[in-house]
Amino acid sequence: MNRKQIMIGIAGLVLLGLLILALKPSPIPVSATEVRRGPFTEYVEDEGETHLPEPHHVSAPISGFLRRVDLDPGDRVEAGDTLFELESLPTPALDARAREQARERVSAAQARLQAAEAELEARESQHELAQKEYERAQRLHERGAISAEERDRRRSQRDSARAAERSARHAVEVARFELEAARAVVEIADGERAPLEQPSLSVRAPITGTVTRVYRCCEGPVQAGEEILQIGDLSTLEVRVDLLSMDAVRVEEGMRVVLDRWGRDDELEGRVHRVEPAGYTRVSALGVDEQRVPVRVEITSPREQWPELGDAFRVEARFILWEGEDVVQVPSSALFRRDDSWAIFVVEDGQAVLKTVKTGRRSGLWTQVTDGLSGDEVVITHPGDRIESGVGVEVDLRGYQ
């Protein structure tokens, strides 16, 4: 074989290799991540807000005129401190007709008083005359000039005259009181408040705590039962989270809760105090009816760690359903169903290899794998329709949060 034939053969082999490389499918670019092995926490997370379990709504015990409330939200009060004061309502205003009628009643009361005084004078005269006649009859009876019956009759007349005088005197006092009452209606100015020296009703704090809300601050008339302010003990704050009913059935009393996103970077600890037995329907932002169940969480972290928290503050709550220390876990997006089992693609020697796995608990974007992986593999996080077992892949290895 000459030199020329050798060169032609080599060129043919090179062309054949280039053709094979051209026809060979290129690796498919995929995103992948390493299988994680370590702590794993299954939880339910939802938004909640702080809540005072036993707030004291202080109301006006009677109808009256409220004096200005000097307390502001956030003020500290001790049990027994005066919260606000109530006084009698101002005198109601009179229209022209009512005022004229009041003046007429004053005139009528004056006339009745004068009549009663005249009647009293007449009764006093009658009593004086009856007294003298009785004394005269007594002397005549002692001399035997009249009988005992006549003397007793004069005594009875005297006693009757004395009782009539006493009744007339009382009638004068009644007429005088009526006149003073009629004059008070006319003489007191319209809308006049009671003097400051008049007694007022002081409403006192039922507990030691903090004023959380003030519903009425300015003076003015109030009705009995109208709320004026609210007092609560902020150290007893709890968190209310309205969970979906399918999540609430997995939550139990005493379960650990982590509270975060409440305004600081550090997390707070809590525990489930109560899962209420009745739910309600709430429409979501997407217009879907959701069955929600209120769950109350007690904050177990010391009060010094959350002094700024108050009533109706927003927090995020994570209910810890299960925790493990050495758990094999993969991104949930890497799993897919095949032949009624869960499967996953593992990258080995630049190729995608299909593996069947058994899954356990889920936590956010991660899923526990109980069988099928050792924990040292690299898995494809979002396998597409082009990914099959044995297909070459170009891995973009990145962390997965």
CA distance 108 to 323: 91
pLDDT value at position 44?
92
* Backbone torsion region of residue 344, taken as left when φ is above 0, otherwise alpha when ψ lies between -120 and 50, otherwise beta: beta
CA distance 228 to 178: 39
For residue 44, give Cα distances in angstroms to 47, 181, 273, 348, 363: 10, 73, 16, 35, 8
pLDDT value at position 190?
54
pLDDT value at position 20?
56
pLDDT value at position 305?
93
pLDDT value at position 243?
95
For residue 201, give Cα distances in angstroms to 66, 83, 185, 227, 332: 10, 11, 25, 16, 67
pLDDT value at position 388?
86
pLDDT tens digit at each of 401 positions of the chain: 566 667 777 777 767 666 655 555 578 888 888 899 999 999 999 999 999 988 999 999 999 889 999 999 999 999 999 999 998 877 666 677 777 787 888 888 888 889 888 988 988 888 888 888 888 888 888 888 888 888 888 888 888 888 888 998 898 898 888 888 887 777 665 555 555 566 789 999 999 999 999 999 888 889 999 999 999 999 999 999 999 999 999 999 999 999 999 988 899 999 999 999 999 999 988 899 999 999 999 999 999 999 999 999 999 999 999 999 889 999 999 999 988 899 999 998 888 899 999 999 988 889 999 998 988 889 999 888 888 888 888 888 765 55
Backbone angles phi, psi at 7, to 5 degrees: -65, -40
| Closest to 212 in 3D by CA, of 310, 82, 79 | 310
pLDDT value at position 19?
62
CA distance 70 to 85: 10
